[in-house]
């Protein structure tokens, strides 16, 4: 196709068309030398550019012309998006727009204009760009999916969570791996940690017969933490609809924790129900596909479940992720939260666990939770594993 710089008409026409839209074509100088419209001339460079512009219009109008309909404006007959099917629209946007723009268009199609065909038709879903936004749509609509659609949806979710897991695992390596087993590091060289038996046995060959004393060439020390148990990490995630981003990242983070040799991970999804997914904590796909979205925020039963999982408080890390809009029993929740902290449990209360960390949450309840001794914040997954790494040292 001829570039815009080869014909000044193209640059001028496209600039005005971007401002005025497709309805500006009639008064614009877009006619060929023979007086016909440029679109009728297969060799006219203006025609080629305008053809691409109309294709862009068709893809955008398919979604955004709905805005006019919602505002009761009459849509012009034969507008750019008319007659397009969902597969044709997907094909068009992926051909005409960069990846970042495609994700924005698909997000608007799903959440702003309700084009749920993206997640209820296997052909359409298979052609969509895997993204976190698409995963969120799948989790919201999976209960409406037929088995064949659900199978395709699982593949999309698997691809996205594997990408998130790979990135987070690399970040968690330095923060967590190797710090949970003290035997991999030299023990502190203190009198308290002196291994008397081993030191004497290894130095017997250095016995000084003249002075009748043992000369110590090598001194050995105990790892005093050798007999201590593994750390237990309890992750309890609010699965109400507002926490969907955090749920996705929490599932991935819990899976990363299960890959560490000295951690015992317990995973709970909760709203007004409790779903113990500890047996599936290593598989974020199963965790997410097993989520039951949309319930109320009943925190007290979840905290009681967490308290039951505590065996050795001083080696237990509790991570509760919620927006803290607690429906009832707030005083009882805060009393139990303080009890867990006072017992020695390391308690983290996260208002959000995602990459944007712009949570909407009950600030009053979060402040009272912090007063009970909890660390309360909104964190990215990377910041969470860094903080966990410091606790487990």
The residue out of 160, 177, 208 marking a domain boundary is: 160
Average pLDDT over every residue of 209-225: 74
Give, in order, the Cα–Cα distances in Å from 284 to each of 277, 289, 309, 327, 346.
10, 8, 21, 28, 24
Contact 37, 31 (CB under 8 A): yes
CA dist 192 and 291 (Å) reads 49
61: β partners: none
Considering only residues 36 and 223, tell me which one the structure prediction assigns the higher pLDDT.
223
Q: Are 369 and 334 in contact (CB under 8 A)?
A: yes
Handedness of CA 33, 36, 37, 38 (dihedral sign): negative
Q: Which two tokens stand for residue 83?
A: 């007659």
Please, which pLDDT band fits residue 247 given cuts at 50, 70 and 90?
very high
- The pLDDT tens digits of the residues spanning 67-103 come to 655 554 444 434 444 445 666 676 677 777 787 787 7
28 phi and psi angles, rounded to 5 deg:
-80, 150
pLDDT tens per residue across span 169-204 = 877 776 665 444 444 456 667 767 777 777 876 777
Instruction: Give the pairing type, strands 231-238 and 263-270.
Output: parallel
Q: Is residue 43 part of a domain?
A: yes
Look at residue 223 in the predicted model and tell me its pLDDT. Answer: 57
Domain count, the chain: 4
Domain limits for position 9: 4-70
Say if residue 212 is in the same domain as residue 300: no
Q: Does residue 66 fall inside a structural domain?
A: yes
Residues 122 and 238 in one domain: no
Are 24 and 51 in the same domain? yes
Residue 207 lies in a domain: yes
Would residue 383 count as lying in a domain? yes
| Across 115-138, average pLDDT | 84
What's the confidence (pLDDT) of residue 186?
66
170 occurs within a structural domain: no
**What is the distance, to the nearest Å, from the Cα of residue 353 to the centroid of all Cα atoms in its chain?**
8
Q: What is the pTM of this model?
A: 0.68
Task: Examine residue 36 and state whether it is found in any structural domain, yes or no.
Answer: yes
Torsion over CA of 87, 93, 99 and 100, rounded to 10 degrees?
A: -120
Residues 242 and 375 in one domain: yes
């Amino acid at each position: 196709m001829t570039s815009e710089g080869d014909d000044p008409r193209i640059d001028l026409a496209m600039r005005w068309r971007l401002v005025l839209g497709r309805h500006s074509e009639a008064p614009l100088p877009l006619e060929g030398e023979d007086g016909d419209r440029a679109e009728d001339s297969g060799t006219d460079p203006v025609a080629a550019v305008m053809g691409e512009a109309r294709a862009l219009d068709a893809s955008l109008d398919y979604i955004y012309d709905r805005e006019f309909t919602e505002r009761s404006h009459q849509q012009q007959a034969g507008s750019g998006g008319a007659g397009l099917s969902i597969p044709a629209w997907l094909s068009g946007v992926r051909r005409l727009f960069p990846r970042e723009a495609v994700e924005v268009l698909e997000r608007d199609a799903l959440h702003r204009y309700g084009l749920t065909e993206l997640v209820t038709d296997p052909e359409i879903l298979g052609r969509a760009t895997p993204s976190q936004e698409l995963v969120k749509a799948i989790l919201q609509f999976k209960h409406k999916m037929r088995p064949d659609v659900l199978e395709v949806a699982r593949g999309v979710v698997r691809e996205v969570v594997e990408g998130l897991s790979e990135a987070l695992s690399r970040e968690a390596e330095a923060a967590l791996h190797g710090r949970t087993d003290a035997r991999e590091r030299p023990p502190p060289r203190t009198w308290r940690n002196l291994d008397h038996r081993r030191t004497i046995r290894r130095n017997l060959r250095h016995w000084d017969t003249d002075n009748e004393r043992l000369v110590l060439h090598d001194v050995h020390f105990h790892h005093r933490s050798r007999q201590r148990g593994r750390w237990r990490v309890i992750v309890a995630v609010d699965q109400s609809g507002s926490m969907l981003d955090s749920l996705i990242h929490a599932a991935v983070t819990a899976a990363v924790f299960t890959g560490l040799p000295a951690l015992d991970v317990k995973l709970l999804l909760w709203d007004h129900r409790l779903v113990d997914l500890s047996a599936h904590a290593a598989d974020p796909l199963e965790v997410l596909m097993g989520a039951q979205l949309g319930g109320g925020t009943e925190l007290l039963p979840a905290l009681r479940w967490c308290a039951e999982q505590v065996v050795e408080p001083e080696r237990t890390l509790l991570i509760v992720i919620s927006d803290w809009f607690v429906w009832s029993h707030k005083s009882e929740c805060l009393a139990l939260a303080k009890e867990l902290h006072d017992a020695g449990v390391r308690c983290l209360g996260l208002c959000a666990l995602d990459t944007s960390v712009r949570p909407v949450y009950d600030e009053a309840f979060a402040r009272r939770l912090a007063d009970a001794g909890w660390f309360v914040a909104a964190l990215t997954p990377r910041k969470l594993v860094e903080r966990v790494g410091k606790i487990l040292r």
